Structure 1
Amino acid sequence: MASLPTFSFHTTAEQVADSCADIIRGKNVLVTGTSLNGIGYETARVAAKYANLVIITGYNEERLKLTEAEIKKSVPSANIRRLALNLLSQAAVRDAAAEVNAYSEPIHVLINNAAASAAINDGAEPERTPDLDVDVQWATNHFGPFLFTKLLLPKLYAAARASPGFTPRVVWVSAKGHQFGGGVDLDNLGRPDPEAEGYSLMNVYFATKSANIMIASEMARRAAGKVNAYSLHPGVIFTNVFMRMKETNSFPAEMSTIGIVNEQGDPVSDKFPWKSIEEGAASTVAAAFDPRLDATPGAYIDDCNVAMEEIAPHTADPSKAARLWSLTEEMIGEKFEF
């Protein structure tokens, strides 16, 4: 552990994986949201260099096949398994979890990377889900991953038994953008009012990213060392999401107001330095494997390092995190038993 290098803004996911190679070897890793040109893909690719098994997920089978092919082109020895996962649907999440629980292998690391963004909500999906009757961003970014994680707890515990000395990890990919929203509305969880003052799809997204941080913190507290959970800011990155926005000229107004992009949708680096995809996935890989983080379960990671000072006040209140957890359990009809 003492020999690990200091990671920073420009550290790449591959550099983190290479540094943690001895820890990754023999591990089984599940990464949600692994489309090409995204940080989930890069996370899966570098983990596959050393891991025993990397499970990639998505709701589009053809995209999953493309991801698998590209990973194997880069890492011929990679052991990849595809998993269909539609986080919008609680029933689909249950089906996917049942498939994973039928695997013979345990799961050492679960990375909740997949997310729906206001930036790509072009009206093709309903505003509310048919099962929970919640906003589609809330379903994909919070309720779906929460249920998926709960249902995979047996696999995480099995990993602890299979690999003594390694505490299983759950990683929640959040965003610094949570700072720009008003936080989680616990009185109307998952059901924002479009007529309310300050409502926008982007602010809904920011709230879900606050929820990711709160859930990671509360999970670590409740698990009490049985499972370690972390949240992170990957950085401002020109991923497939930005590519689609650029192609369709569908950037939310908040993005130019905040100063991430200009009116043409081109990156602006005055306020927010941009990272490459390779740099953007680094914090995820660090949260998944850097042994130095064992000392700070529940931490928020930025540039591969603990950055608790970056958590907005509306997201840092532990009592709100505890209430969010309890409300979510009630809404999905499942309680975690650590």
Structure 2
Amino acid sequence: MGVYFSVIREGYPPKPQFSVDDIPDLSGKVALVTGATSGIGKEIVKGLLSHNAKVYVGARDEEKVRKAIQDLKAETGKEGIWLELDLADLHSVRKAAEDFKSKEKQLHILFNNAGVMEPPIDKVTAQGYDLQFGTNVLGPFYFTKLLLPTLLKTAKASPDWKPRIINTSSVVSILADPLNFNTFTDGPARKKQSPRWLYMQSKLGHTMVAQELAQQYGEQGIITLSVNPGNIRTDIRRYYNPIKEAIQGQLTLYPPSLGALTPLWAGTSPEGVSMNGKYLVPWARYGTPNPIVLDDRARKDLWTWLEEQVAKFSRQ
């Protein structure tokens, strides 16, 4: 019963106590937001630009990202910077990290926001991983790993600011079972699972990575946490049945502007310095993650597997 109470609590949150107006001045801060051409990511970028941050928009579709940047400039008077990034292709992930590091020496806030939700089962990443696990877990893990040297340098160079990594989780991470490593790559075990189950697993994995990053790098000045942004009406739901989506959208879904509040609270507020290893829920509140997230052995096993994948890729 406790699990389902948590799901209800996260799905129907009280009125927010934090707003975009509460974001402090971010002049001199460099932020990077993945999946920012629409939805929650675009609203995060809007909040950051409105408070004078320099913002990189990580996305793969040039037409969409240029339209988003144009829209945001019209709304805020500030212009985001496109960073070409496809999390479903490790070559693109590596190139994007190299491109960013060639332009910037510091990174103050990393929002690992991009994701994919319940695509057809035949869809896999460029390297043959399950599309959801590859995009939602492996890609962001590799991207963050490549940017860690920059984040660590920022921590040393900015005594008044601790760099922050915010992983976008989901309420369904609470319902996920222990990870099935046999489903991470394409094969019979994966094809036996539903897209819904694979999505839940990926969001659990993304949350576990955030917790492990918090454990490993918290003492070195980096704040890492995971955020359930809420049940939000965005393009990530494009694979849903349109009739069911229209009904659910009227009953249970909230606008992207609300979905951006909890990530922005974590990434910009003074309270953020005390959020290392936390799991946040709508709107800008503390929650309780799936107990698997707090299992040291489970996290280490996932971390080892992820390290093996990127090491294998780097040798290719």
Give the TM-score of the pair, scaled to structure 1.
Answer: 0.81
Give the counterpart letter for 1:203 in structure 2: W
**Please, which moves more after superposition, 157-166 or 39-48?**
157-166
* Counterpart selection for 2:125 from 126, 129, 154: 129
Q: Deviations over 1:192-251 (max 9, x none)?
A: 755579710111011010011111111010013321101010101111233x34xxxx43
Deviation per residue, 1:100-137 (Å, 9 max, x gap)? 0101341101100000111xx257xx633343x31111
Alignment-mate amino acid for residue 238 of structure 1? R
- Is the 2:130–2:183 Cα contact (8 Å) retained in structure 1? no
Task: Say which of 140, 160, 165 aligns to 2:160.
Answer: 165
Q: Give the structure 1 partner of residue 53 of structure 2.
A: 52
Unaligned runs of 5+ in 1: 1-7, 252-260
- Residue 290, structure 1, aligned to residue 269, structure 2: yes
**CA shift digits 1:130-189 (9 cap, x unpaired):** 43x31111111111111110111122123224422211111100100122332422x426
Aligned to 2:248: 267
- TM-score, with structure 2 as normaliser: 0.86
SS at match of 1:179: helix
CA RMSD across the alignment: 2.5
Shift of 1:295: 2.2
Q: Distance in 1 between matches of 2:186 and 2:89?
A: 19
- Contact conserved, 2:120 with 2:195, CA < 8 A, in 1? no
Q: Which amino acid aligns with 2:96?
A: A
Superposition deviation, residue 84 in structure 1: 0.6
Confirm or deny that 1:83 pairs with 2:88.
Answer: no
Q: Distance in 1 between matches of 2:112 and 2:20?
A: 18
Question: Which residue among 159, 176, 179 is the counterpart of 1:181?
Answer: 176
C-alpha separation in 1, matches of 2:302 and 2:61: 30
Query: Is the counterpart of residue 218 in structure 1 residue 212 in structure 2?
Result: yes
After the TM superposition, which residues 1-338 of structure 1 pair with which residues of structure 2 at under 5 Å, given as runs? 9-11=14-16, 16-22=19-25, 24-36=26-38, 38-76=39-77, 78-118=78-118, 121-122=119-120, 127-131=123-127, 133-185=128-180, 187-188=181-182, 190-191=184-185, 194=188, 199-226=193-220, 227-242=222-237, 244-245=238-239, 250-251=240-241, 263=244, 265-267=246-248, 273-303=252-282, 304-308=284-288, 311-333=289-311
Structure 1 residues 66, 238: CA separation in 2 closer, same or farther (over 3 Å shift)? same
Which residue identity lines up with residue 292 of structure 1 in the other structure? E
Aligned length: 299
The answer as to whether partners of 1:10 and 1:279 remain within 8 angstroms in 2 is: no
Contact kept? 1:58, 1:86, Cα under 8 Å: yes
Residue identity opposite 1:164 in structure 2: P
* Secondary structure at 1:207 match in 2: helix
Tell me if the contact between 2:58 and 2:85 (Cα under 8 Å) persists in the aligned partners: yes
Contact 1:26 1:50 in 2 (8 A): no
* C-alpha deviation, 1:262, in angstroms: 7.3
Unaligned runs of 5+ in 2: 1-12
The letter of the residue matching 2:146 is L
Q: Describe the superposition over 1:33-82 as per-residue Cα deviations: whole angstroms up to 9, x where unpaired.
A: 0122x000000011111233100011100101011001101101x14111
Separation in 2, partners of 1:194, 1:10: 45
Which letter does structure 1 place at the counterpart of 2:35? G
Q: Secondary structure at the match of 1:82?
A: strand
Q: Tell me the secondary structure at the aligned position of residue 267 of structure 1.
A: helix
- Structure 2 distance, partners of 1:198, 1:294, is 42
Q: 1:55 touches 1:80 (CA, 8 Å); kept in 2?
A: yes
Q: Distance in 1 between matches of 2:178 and 2:141?
A: 18
Partner of 1:258: none
Where does residue 256 of structure 1 map in the other structure? Answer: none
Q: Larger helix proportion, structure 1 or 2?
A: 2
Runs of 4+ in 1 over 6 A off after TM superposition: none
Identity %: 26
Measure the CA separation in 1 of the matches of 2:204 and 2:187. 18
**Equivalent residues of 1:29, 1:51 under 8 A apart:** no
- Take 2:163 and 2:190, find their aligned partners in 1: how far apart are those partners? 41
Does structure 2 conserve the Cα–Cα contact (< 8 Å) formed by 1:10 and 1:275?
Answer: no
